[in-house]
Structures are given as structure tokens and as C-alpha cells.
């Protein structure tokens, strides 16, 4: 564990907290993409299958990972519940039209071609990594459709992007300190994912400089 | 499974 990874994970937790805070305080999920949340649910549930096989108390790191994995899975499920049940009437279904089945299919094909080992777990893991790298797209697409972006929604995306950026630093750090060399899959997809966020950052910072509300082109 | 492949990140 290094400071970059810990910082990244904490930003990830903050982003989830912001998301739930936005929904709970405004009693609305307007501007949020249910499709992105569903993709994250798929990502977490295909990546964290090792929860069933790893002893949480094996080491401090597995304990930490277990807690975080359960947190991500449960908060993701709760967010979907809020959007689909409790605040369903505020959900912007008309604009949230990104076709996620194509993303899922593409991630599945890529995972079948590129994986670290030919096992079900490794292929599902690769699938989750591919899918995570594009999971934010429906959310960005929705923001583009509706134009103006609420502050808290942009903070949510900003935190997610920060989490990905810190993970890249984490990988550079581990490359040199632990000589981790075989993580090309996570590195490649993580970089693509970060670039998608960088595009959002650009407009976010632009709107900040002009002191205006964020508008995506 | 996780440790074997070195997936120790989230």
C-alpha cells in the first residue's frame, strides 16, 4: 500500500459518498445516469468474485480490500435501488439512452481475447477492467444531452477521475518499488479511463476559470 | 484466486 493508492481509494469512497449525498439531499437523481451505475455494479460483481475465496483476515491488505469491496458492492446496489425505486420519478430516463449493451459486448469480446490466464476468473477480471474503463461514458453522454451540470455531479465525476489518476501514480510507484511488470491490462485500460476523465476535467476547469456553471459542448 | 494472479488492487 502506498499513498497514491490509498489516496485513490479514498477519493473513490468520497465520490460514492457525494453521489448518495446528492440523491438524499435533493431527493432527486436528476442528471445521474442509471446506466453508468448499472455498469459499475456489473464491474464490481465480476471483479470481486474472489470475495468468496479469500480469507479477509489473511493479511492487513486482504482485510482492507474485503471491506472496500463490500462497500463498493453495497453502495452501488443501494444507488441503483434509490434511482430505480425510491426516486424513480426524478430519473431522467428520456436522456439516459446510451446503449450499454454494446459496451458490455465489446468488453466481453476484448476479455476473451486479452486476459492474463485462461480461467473463468481471469476472463471475468479482464472483462471488469475493460468495462470499468468506459463505464462513465453514459454519465458523460447524459450530461452532454441535458447541457448544464449540477455542481455535485461534477464533483462526483471529478473525484472518480482523481481516483483513476492517483492509481496511475500508484502503478508507476509499484513498477519501481515492487518491480511489478505484468500488469499491462490494468495499466492500459486505466490509462484509457483516465484520458476519458481528462476530457471532462478540461471542461470542468474551463468553467471554473470563467466562474460559470459547467456546460459540456 | 486474487493473490495468485497478483490482483491485489480494487
Average pLDDT score, chain A: 93
Phi, psi of A43 (to 5 degrees): -60, -50
In terms of CA atoms, which chain A residue is nearest residue B9? A65
Distance from CA of B3 to the nearest CA of A (A): 9
CA gap A157, A216 in Å, rounded: 13
pLDDT in tens, A145-179: 887 778 888 899 999 999 999 999 999 999 999 98
DSSP state of A213: -
Q: In the predicted model, is pLDDT for residue B3 greater than 50?
A: no
Residues A108-116, mean pLDDT to the nearest whole number:
96
Between residues A207 and B10, the one the model is more confident about: B10
List, in order, residues 6 or more apart from A110 with CB less than 8 Å away. A126, A127, A130
Give bridge partners of residue A148 from the DSSP assignment: A215
CA gap A38, A88 in Å, rounded: 15
Residues A37-53, mean pLDDT to the nearest whole number:
96
Are residues B5 and A117, on separate chains, in Cβ contact within 8 Å? yes
List, in order, residues 6 or more apart from B6 with CB less than 8 Å away. A180, A182, A183
Please state the ipTM of this predicted complex: 0.82
Between residues A205 and A34, the one the model is more confident about: A34
pLDDT in tens, A67-99: 999 999 999 999 999 999 999 999 999 999 999
List, in order, residues 6 or more apart from A105 with CB less than 8 Å away. none
Cβ of residue A174 closer than 8 Å to a chain B Cβ: no
Q: In the predicted model, is pLDDT for residue A208 greater than 50?
A: yes
Query: Mutation test of the interface with chain B: which of A6, A12, A46, A50, choosing the one with the most B Cβ atoms within 10 A?
Result: A50
Are A34 and A84 contacting, i.e. CB atoms less than 8 angstroms apart? yes
Q: How far apart are the first and last CA of chain B?
A: 14
Cβ of residue A61 closer than 8 Å to a chain B Cβ: yes
CA gap A153, A118 in Å, rounded: 39
CA gap A16, A35 in Å, rounded: 15
Amino acid at each position: 500500500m502506498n499513498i497514491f493508492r490509498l489516496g485513490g481509494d479514498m477519493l473513490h469512497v468520497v465520490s460514492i459518498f457525494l453521489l448518495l449525498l446528492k440523491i438524499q439531499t435533493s431527493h432527486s437523481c436528476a442528471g445521474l445516469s442509471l446506466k453508468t451505475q448499472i455498469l459499475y455494479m456489473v464491474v464490481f460483481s465480476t471483479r470481486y468474485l474472489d470475495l468468496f475465496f479469500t480469507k479477509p483476515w489473511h493479511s492487513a491488505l486482504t482485510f482492507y480490500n474485503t471491506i472496500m469491496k463490500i462497500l463498493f458492492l453495497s453502495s452501488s446496489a443501494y444507488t441503483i435501488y434509490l434511482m430505480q425505486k425510491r426516486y424513480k420519478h426524478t430519473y431522467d430516463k428520456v436522456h439516459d439512452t446510451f446503449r450499454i449493451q454494446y459496451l458490455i459486448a465489446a468488453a466481453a469480446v476484448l476479455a476473451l481475447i486479452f486476459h492474463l490466464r485462461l480461467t473463468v476468473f481471469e476472463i471475468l477480471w479482464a472483462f471488469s477492467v475493460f468495462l470499468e474503463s468506459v463505464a462513465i461514458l453514459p454519465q458523460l453522454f447524459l450530461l452532454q444531452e441535458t447541457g448544464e451540470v449540477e455542481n455535485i455531479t461534477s464533483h462526483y465525476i471529478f473525484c472518480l477521475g482523481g481516483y483513476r489518476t492517483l492509481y496511475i501514480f500508484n502503478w508507476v510507484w509499484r513498477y519501481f518499488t515492487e518491480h511489478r511488470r505484468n500488469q499491462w491490462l490494468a495499466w492500459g485500460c486505466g490509462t484509457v479511463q483516465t484520458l476519458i476523465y481528462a476530457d471532462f476535467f478540461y471542461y470542468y476547469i474551463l468553467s471554473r476559470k470563467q466562474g460559470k456553471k459547467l456546460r459540456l459542448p | 484466486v486474487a493473490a495468485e494472479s497478483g490482483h491485489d488492487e480494487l
